Structure 1
Amino acid sequence: MSQIGVTRESSPAAMHRQAKLVFRQATARDAAALAPLVLASGELEFAYLLGGTQAEREAFLRQAIASDGGRFSWRRHRVAALGNEPVAVLAIQDGRANLLDDPRIALDFLRAFGAWRSGGIICRGLVLEREIPAPKRRQTLLAHCATRSDMRGQGVFRALFAHTMRARLLPARAGQTLFLDVLRSNTRAAALYRELGFVALDERADRTPKLPVHLRSSRMRFSPGDAVAGSYAPT
């Protein structure tokens, strides 16, 4: 689930704001600020998966992000913050640490929506996972990538990604591969990902006809040799 609205920006005001950014691990206290950001990272996907109103979807994410475990937990997220307020986010979903993700998210659904509604959510989740598969043991999925609307176009996410690479929080060694998924309609985000060093893989042949066409996505693999010079500094 990826939606980014940033470009390289060198205006004095933008550079001043970037200078004040703090890059850090998210905390449970960030849940209220992160919920709308994570929701914005995949509005169409969350609307399909959870149904209901935007307020209900955001409330679910606040609860899930505040929890100590699972794919939505604050523990999986890195943020760029101004003061204490997160303004950009990314999630690191390591395939070596996701064994309990499915039972945990099912429990989160039950707590938030009850048994009857959760059944439909879980069924739609299985359909969606055919398009956006969970990472395998030797894979890490970059997800929930978003920037607050008033901070877009200022290079904030680019700076967060670069900091995460410099801190070696994303896989760089042989045998562990970094992926992300982007909606095929989100050409702006795909262009940025290419600048950061991601390359599109061949289209998957096992797509399910049950998935709405507007949720078709492309998987991209991180290949640093293909990054645009100056886009990030991994060392």
Structure 2
Amino acid sequence: MTTVSASIATQAQTLTFRPARASDAFVCAPLVFASGEHEFEFFLGVSPERCITFLAFAFGLNGGRFSWRRHEVAVDANGEIVAVLAAHDGRRILADDPHVVFTLLRHFGLLRTVPMLLRGLVLETELPKPKRAQTLIAHCATREESRGTGAFSALFAHALGKVERGLDTPAREIVLDVLASNTRAAALYRRLGFVDLPRRKPRSKRLPAELESIRMRFDPRAPR
């Protein structure tokens, strides 16, 4: 093991993991935004600051795809959150669409919400909801100063197998999406055991080219 890899392993060993809490909203919201800043800016059509404010509001709610209830976090020796991920179990997302409509209406009002929902439908052609047999990993992010330390890999390893999150393999098919342009993240996911799935249809002409994404599936037997 090299000095660098030994240092990374040591830092990862100092982490603890727990389910997110509603009180984590203002810390986790910038991380959730960083996990898909281009997607959020397209969907919401507002500045990064307003995106983060909305995500903090939605994270603090008890339901929906942005809720703290969907998230797991990694915490360092100082008690600070350094990484986050969400798990969306395809068996438990029936209320997600009505909930996001309600959340957008509460936060932005009717006039802003309608075009957001229309853009959301376009985005969903590229980032489809998980099927009933799938669990979608999303909102994968690490605090900037903790990147390259193994924090997210350790968090994913901790979350993997959690039945209550729908991450029990091989019973569940675990999938995620990554921007085609985000080669660094895609390389990380491949090291974790994800493989690219073939694209089934072309990108929507109404979706910006920079939002073209790759869907990946977890395969523990894949070469790393």
Residue 59 (structure 2) pairs with residue 88 (structure 1) = no
Aligned to 1:218: 214
Partner letter of residue 221 of structure 2? G
Structure 1 CA distance, aligned partners of 2:11 and 2:188? 20
Match of 1:198 in 2: 194
- Residue 37 of structure 1 is matched in structure 2 by 31
Please state if 1:57 is matched with 2:51: yes
Give identity over the alignment, percent: 52
Q: Secondary structure at the match of 1:58?
A: helix
Contact persistence 2:196–2:216 (CA under 8 A) = yes
Aligned to 2:169: 172
Match of 2:181 in 1: 185
Letter in 2 for 1:102: D
Q: Which residue of structure 1 aligns with residue 152 of structure 2?
A: 157
- For residue 94 of structure 2, what is the aligned residue in structure 1? 99
Cα RMSD between the aligned structures? Answer: 1.6
Asked if residue 128 in structure 1 is aligned to residue 123 in structure 2, the reply is: yes
Q: Give the aligned residue type for 1:59.
A: T
Structure 1 residue 31, shift from structure 2 partner: 0.5
Query: What is the letter of the counterpart of residue 61 of structure 2?
Result: S
Relative contact order (C-alpha < 8 Å, sep 6+): which is higher? Answer: 1
Structure 2 counterpart of 1:107, one-letter code: F
Helix, strand or coil at the partner of 2:91: helix
Gaps of 5+ in 1: 1-8, 229-235
Give SS of 1:193's match: helix
CA pair 227-62 structure 1, distance change in 2 beyond 3 A = farther
Normalising by structure 2, report the TM-score. Answer: 0.93
The answer as to whether partners of 2:87 and 2:136 remain within 8 angstroms in 1 is: yes
Are 2:138 and 1:143 equivalent residues in the alignment? yes
- Could you tell me whether the CA contact under 8 Å between 1:60 and 1:112 is conserved in 2? yes
Preserved contact between residue 140 and residue 171 of structure 1 (Cα < 8 Å): no
Which residue does 2:16 correspond to in 1? Answer: 22
For the residue of structure 1 that corresponds to 2:160, the secondary structure is helix
Task: Give me the whole-angstrom Cα distance separating, in 2, the residues matched to 1:152 and 1:43.
Answer: 17
Aligned 8 A contact 1:78 1:89 in 2: yes
Q: Distance in 1 between matches of 2:16 and 2:124?
A: 33
